[in-house]
Structure 1
């Protein structure tokens, strides 16, 4: 049987909600993030039966992975190589903050280039680091078994491009939503190019609420209570 790979992005954090660049700062899941991870893990467990779960060692990835681990009875293994892309001096900042201090570098970054002079990893460096980790973990996984890798948005975008034989700077796919995943299947031939086939991308329980990024919809009773106490126009 061919190798099956799921690349799962961690759930929401306060920095995600505020559009701050996290990089390798260790930010925990927020309340909505725990809900996203729980709901997403349940959907994953209903569709797949992973034999291994390997996560970045940053707590937002570890805690996301933990929901799936408890659902399927498979322990979480940690691999620091799966950390998010390092953004150096930009970590913790919003796009507005960065643009104000580094206008030229910000424009180049938004156009697909790499920020220079701020201590950030390049896309090629991230793809090499994450790609090495994913291929190594695949090689350690039972042939035909499903491996779940829990990592981060920018890191996963780079490794999906790498596994599909694209340049690390390729921008042919949108960023992955929190607690969503990409599904790939090994091509099945040692000389296949690329070695992986993309079965699904940005897969997740988007029907869980009217706005996934905002969390669960209010209960009808709570909505009615809110309406009753709302000031009239």
Structure 2
């Protein structure tokens, strides 16, 4: 992390959750591996990094999350930006992981694969190929700038739809994954086919923002809720109805 002024404390009291969207077919491998992994984690130095975002130092080397503030109830259940569509599964993570690791960077918007704190000019002269050769770019953002960007993201009622936190290489699931949300019946059924998955026999909350499916999967020695909700519902509503968040809307 680059030197800078004293970093402001993270405003986790303003933070509801972090999310990362994946296709339903990827959920099983994430559970098997016990982590959300970067492209580099999967492909190594000789992988095919064909997306421009992968070649800029952040896309291939990091795992992104998006942060939702506690006042941002309009955040849609299917997410925003990369990883968001009605058929994907939103992996819902506790923001406490930010305090437990210093291996992340933050931006209030989408950087197109660049590491927050780095500039377009920083790419000049860097060799093509192995994304690991761009790892020094991860030191360009100061901790003060990182925390300030994050705190502005979760402040107030208006979501920063394409905000991102880039986590170096992987995010462990045990102790961090608190739930999954999807707006697709097929995607919910796919997740429920994981070994040890269990559908809830409880009567589900109704209404336009009610949940349409509820089950659980095993993550280590923890049982993590999986919820299917209406396509037009808010993430905050789904998390509350499924018991993933507390009464204040915080996922911990």
TM-score normalised by the chain length of structure 2: 0.27
Max radius of gyration: which structure? 1
Query: Under a length normalisation based on structure 1, what TM-score does the superposition of the two structures give?
Result: 0.29
